[in-house]
Structure 1
Amino acid sequence: MKKIIDISQPLDHRTVVWPGDTPFSYDLTWTTQDSGSVNVGQIQMSTHTGTHIDAPFHFNDEGQRVIQLDLDVYVGDALVIHLPKTNSIGPKELDGIDLQGITRLLIRTDAWTDRRVFPSEIPFLEPQLAGYLADRGIRLVGVDLPSVDPLDSKELSAHHQLSAYGIAILEGIVLEHVQPGAYELIALPLALAEADGSPVRAVLRTIRDEKGG
């Protein structure tokens, strides 16, 4: 049987968010004691909480909203690579990695060591990486970080370049328990009609079953 590997951040009151953004909260609005039958909760959160996708509208007023995104991009074969101890990620860092036939690339950096604390700096994607990936057929890039750009960036060059080349962005995935290699990715956004991003329940499914079949 193929194995499901959860690569999503759990969402609770300790989930760290971008400084100044809406903290996550979950509260019961109805309880079985009050209603006589059910518990019903409400959540408050940013669209960029935990493991999430960015829609182009996040950084471009004319960009697509979540509901307009091609869902095919978020489901299918993916390659996990491991690039530890690097300050940035560009074509040089991917030199020697065979990306032939790869559509979705997930980058494990291990740089965000404590997800209960927002990092002070991260290994960002160099803007020129977008063209390099597009030339090799990549349609989605995912990172185990809160952003693909430097945390103090206002230009968001990597976001803009990836979008210009039609490459979807998946941020905040959890990969430290995942070995490099081929998997199937499932990371569907919610059907949010006006949103600039969406939390996802991202999982990997192994290509082979536990017995190697």
Structure 2
Amino acid sequence: MSDSESTVSEAVQLFAQLEWVDLTHSLEEGIPSVPSHARYGHTLYQSYDRGDPACHYRISMGEHTGTHVDAPLHFISDGAAHYDIASVPIHRLVGRAVTIDVTDVGPGETVSREHIEEWEAEHVPIEPGDRVLFQFGWDRYWSADDDANEFLSDWPGLAADAAAYLTESDVRLVGCDTAAIDAAGAEEFPAHYELLGNETYIIENLTNLEKLPPESLLFTFPLKIEEGSGSPIRAVALVD
């Protein structure tokens, strides 16, 4: 057996020993969508009941529908960081993730740099190349019921100094279980500009973060959309 075959075999055996945690919301009509974004639609095109030989649907949605990743193009209009989701190096979206419990942050409030540093002192340090996930617990409000949706009301987010700390730490990606990494009502989008401007990608609308330990192995695969500002993803974490 060659060295490469041995490495692949070891990886397969390791993956079989780990638990797979799905961090992705299901796509269905009625799920939350910020007012400026397209809503999700699911239309039947072929049906066995109508005598068709197959079944298939047309889906319509925005690039930032459901659990999704933001490309720099989403907020950065020029410069080295101005590129689309198809140009994001896929290896930067896979790797060690640190999950920080910030459920003590209230509606409309923000996580500060000090908050992150205190968590690191009690758990594990954030290392260059990491992905950092923030568990606000906001996914408990996710609903496909248009008339009972609290998800888009007064969600918390990341403060400007916290976003700057993460880019200084050279993290690759920042994720959250809220509608956006900036808190609701933020008009200047400091976290978006700081992170995307430094090629730190953003994942929003995650779920099940409470099932993750402080360290996990994260996989987040976007669609390869030319000139895309983002893409829905299937986000999965591997844990012991």
TM-score, normalised with respect to structure 2: 0.80
Please name the residue that 1:41 is paired with.
Answer: 57
Q: What is the CA–CA distance in structure 1 between the aligned matches of 2:168 and 2:182, rounded to whole Å?
A: 21
Alignment of 1:56-205 (within 5 A): 56-62=72-78, 63-86=82-105, 87-96=109-118, 97=120, 98-100=125-127, 103-116=130-143, 117=149, 118-205=151-238
- Which deviates more from structure 2 when the two are superposed, residues 191-200 or residues 170-179? 170-179
In the TM superposition, what is the alpha-carbon distance from 1:143 to its structure 2 partner? 0.6
Change (3 A) 1:157 1:115: same
C-alpha contact 1:109 1:144 (8 A) present in aligned 2 = yes
Provide the secondary structure at the position in 1 that maps to 2:171: coil
Please name the residue that 2:32 is paired with.
Answer: 16
C-alpha contact 2:67 2:205 (8 A) present in aligned 1 = yes
In the TM superposition, what is the alpha-carbon distance from 1:160 to its structure 2 partner? 0.5
Deviations 1:137-196 (A, max 9, x none): 311110111101122233211101112222111111003541332111111110111211
Q: What is the CA–CA distance in structure 1 between the aligned matches of 2:163 and 2:213, rounded to whole Å?
A: 21
Deviations 1:97-131 (A, max 9, x none): 12135611111011343112233212221122233
C-alpha contact 2:23 2:209 (8 A) present in aligned 1 = no
Stretches of 4+ aligned residues off by more than 4 angstroms: none
Change (3 A) 1:122 1:36: closer
Please name the residue that 1:211 is paired with.
Answer: none
TM-score, normalised with respect to structure 1: 0.89
In the TM superposition, what is the alpha-carbon distance from 1:205 to its structure 2 partner? 1.1
Identical aligned residues as a percent: 25
- Structure 2: gaps (5+ residues): 1-16, 144-148
- Structure 1: gaps (5+ residues): 209-213
Q: What is the CA–CA distance in structure 2 between the aligned matches of 1:188 and 1:11, rounded to whole Å?
A: 16
Larger Cα-atom Rg: 2
Q: What is the CA–CA distance in structure 2 between the aligned matches of 1:159 and 1:202, rounded to whole Å?
A: 20
- Which deviates more from structure 2 when the two are superposed, residues 54-63 or residues 154-163? 54-63
Q: What is the CA–CA distance in structure 2 between the aligned matches of 1:102 and 1:180, rounded to whole Å?
A: 18
C-alpha contact 2:100 2:135 (8 A) present in aligned 1 = yes
In the TM superposition, what is the alpha-carbon distance from 1:35 to its structure 2 partner? 6.2
